[in-house]
């Protein structure tokens, strides 16, 4: 999806840039103004502004570009520019790019509930159209608390800022979480689509900005050796792991009302699953790709109450060690109730009811304060029907596994059996692997660069559509209902620095399987 094939199908832009620091041939986006609601927040400073700066350095931002920050904080223009650029490199090699970027930063103080804020914003945008030649094209980014999503969109509509006319485009980017259950997601979709068309809405998931995630489709559909075996005949099961070493940090107040199931599964996990399991699209156009992802999500068999008890595991971290550092329990985190029943770990087993995946379980686990920061998709292939080497020492330990590693190192590896050198016939498991950074020499970026660029050129391939969001919540809702009715018996139930509660291992052991061992 992130390859040149998809890029060639994107809307035409103006400024050619054959080579740039992001490592691919590309054109600069067309003239536009980028309006950033929640401009004084942590996401803005740590991710969004650095990503835009990287695009600027790579000559992928248009010359006629402006960024307008909007928040309730009483900041001068210079205060704002200093605040949001504090995470940017300040060396001599970045000085020219930083000067260019700072001149295009502006600030508008205002309350999201106040219609006058949007009147002033409309006037500021009109002035920038004249001064910066931004062309009347506006990208609105909602880096705010979810409670403001619908309100801001309604205000944009009332101020006529969402109206597209005379070839000018207006787009809105919405951060997760998109609702807190199926009903709220459906309501939010209705409210937003009362103002915007679906093709104006970009529901963002920063995981989709990672090179390895974008490469899943290229890997599957552009390599004849893998696509024929990507099905129930050859694959035993699939494991998706998303492990974090951090706790809730400063998000305790939010997280204690959400939990890991809501925070991670309807978006991150469902996106990884749908890209792994989807059928080949008819093209790389956005809706062709998303149609196939949606089919997979709608094919997931819903869990009944008894199945939730058998196929789901929840956990909450207690105190422990990360390396040599002592860390506290979840209930000791700022903003968290000392009797909290909120889960910080989730493991689930699900099945996809279609021809390709019938009978192939998909297991996933995601949690905080785990042993390593690591995200991967592991495809476990079936054993051969007659094991010719079954009597060879160590052979029983060998399995074919394809691992798509997403973080912290992006790469792909394939394990297979090989003879161990020596006079005796001994079979061992070996790996063929590559890392993106070593092979292509690409630098690390925030993960938002590709996504923000796609918003500006109007390519929605990497963004969730309304039906995809709702399909993800349909998987999660039955689990939420059972967990709400049956509070956890023992929390905390796993030690910080471990791989989660023992029940997560038992989830696979009951099927005669085990989680892939992730080495440091």
Please give the positions annotated as active site.
Answer: 268
List the beta bridge partners of residue 24.
Answer: none
Q: Which residues pair with 364 in a beta bridge?
A: 240, 348
Q: Which residues face 350 on adjacent strands?
A: 362
Between strands 411-419 and 427-435, the pairing is antiparallel
The token pair at 322 is 């990360």
Strand partners, 366: 242, 346
SS3 for 176?
coil
CB 147 within 8 A of CB 254: no
Buried-state track 36-68, b at ≥16 Cβ within 10 A, e below 16? bbbbbbebbbebbbbbbbbbbbbbbbbebbbbb
Tell me the H-state helices in 283-353.
286-298, 305-311
Nearest-5° Cα angle at 131, 125 to 133: 80
**Phi-psi domain of 246 (left: phi exceeds 0; alpha: psi -120 through 50; beta: other):** beta
Q: Cβ distance 180 to 471 under 8 Å? A: no
- Residue labelled with tokens 């052991």: 509
Helix (H) or strand (E) holding 82: helix 77-84
Instruction: Give the 3-state secondary structure of 249-282.
Output: HHHHHHHHHHHHHHHHHHHHHHHHHHHHHCCCCC
Measured CA to CA in angstroms, residue 34 lies from 61, 64, 158, 172 at distances of 11, 11, 19, 10
Residues 6+ apart with CB under 8 A from 75: 40, 83, 107, 109
Burial classification of residue 510, based on how many CB atoms lie within 10 Å of its CB (0-12 exposed, 13-18 middle, 19 or more buried)? exposed
Q: Report which of 110, 128, 100 is spatially closest to residue 69, judged by C-alpha positions.
A: 110
């Amino acid at each position: 999806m992130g390859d040149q094939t998809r890029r060639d199908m994107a809307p035409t832009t103006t400024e050619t840039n054959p080579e740039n620091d992001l490592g691919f041939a590309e054109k600069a986006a067309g003239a536009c103004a980028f309006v950033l609601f929640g401009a004084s927040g942590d996401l803005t400073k740590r991710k969004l502004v650095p990503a835009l700066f990287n695009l600027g350095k790579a000559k992928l931002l248009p010359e006629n570009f402006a960024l307008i920050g909007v928040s309730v904080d009483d900041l001068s223009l210079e205060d704002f520019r200093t605040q949001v650029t504090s995470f940017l490199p300040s060396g001599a090699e970045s000085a020219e790019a930083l000067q260019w970027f700072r001149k295009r930063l502006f600030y508008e103080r205002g309350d999201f509930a106040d219609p006058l804020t949007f009147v002033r914003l409309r006037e500021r945008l009109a002035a920038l159209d004249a001064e910066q030649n931004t062309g009347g094209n506006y990208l609105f980014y909602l880096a705010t608390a979810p409670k403001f999503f619908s309100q801001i969109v309604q205000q944009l509509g009332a101020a006529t800022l969402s109206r597209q006319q005379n070839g000018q485009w207006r787009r809105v980017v919405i951060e997760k979480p998109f609702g807190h259950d199926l009903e709220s997601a459906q309501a939010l979709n209705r409210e937003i689509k009362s103002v915007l068309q679906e093709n104006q809405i970009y529901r963002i998931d920063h995981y989709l900005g990672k090179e390895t995630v974008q490469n899943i489709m290229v890997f599957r559909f552009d390599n004849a050796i893998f696509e024929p075996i990507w099905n129930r005949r050859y694959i035993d099961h699939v494991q998706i792991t998303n492990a974090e070493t951090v706790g809730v940090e400063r998000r305790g107040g939010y997280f204690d009302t959400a939990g890991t199931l809501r925070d991670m599964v309807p978006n991150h996990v469902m996106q990884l699953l749908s890209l792994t399991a989807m059928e080949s699209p008819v093209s790389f156009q956005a809706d062709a790709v998303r149609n196939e992802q949606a089919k997979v999500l709608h094919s997931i068999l819903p869990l009944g109450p008894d199945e939730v008890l058998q196929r789901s595991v929840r956990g909450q971290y207690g105190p422990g060690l990360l390396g040599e550092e002592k860390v506290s329990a979840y209930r000791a985190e700022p903003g968290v109730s000392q009797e909290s029943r909120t889960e910080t770990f989730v493991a689930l087993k699900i099945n996809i009811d279609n021809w390709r995946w019938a009978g192939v379980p998909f297991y996933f686990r995601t949690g905080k304060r785990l042993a390593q920061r690591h995200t991967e998709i592991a495809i476990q292939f079936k054993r051969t029907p007659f094991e010719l080497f079954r009597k060879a020492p160590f052979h029983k330990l060998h399995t074919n596994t394809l691992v798509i590693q997403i973080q912290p190192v992006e790469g792909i590896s394939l394990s297979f059996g090989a003879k161990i050198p020596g006079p005796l016939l001994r079979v061992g498991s070996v790996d063929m692997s590559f890392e993106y950074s070593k092979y292509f020499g690409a630098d690390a970026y925030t993960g938002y660069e590709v996504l923000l660029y796609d918003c500006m050129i109007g390519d929605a391939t990497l963004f969730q559509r309304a039906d995809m969001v709702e399909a993800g919540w349909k998987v999660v809702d039955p689990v939420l209902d059972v967990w709400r009715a049956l509070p956890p018996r023992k929390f905390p139930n796993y030690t910080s620095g471990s791989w989660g509660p023992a029940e997560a291992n038992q989830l696979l052991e009951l099927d005669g399987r085990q989680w892939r061992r992730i080495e440091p």
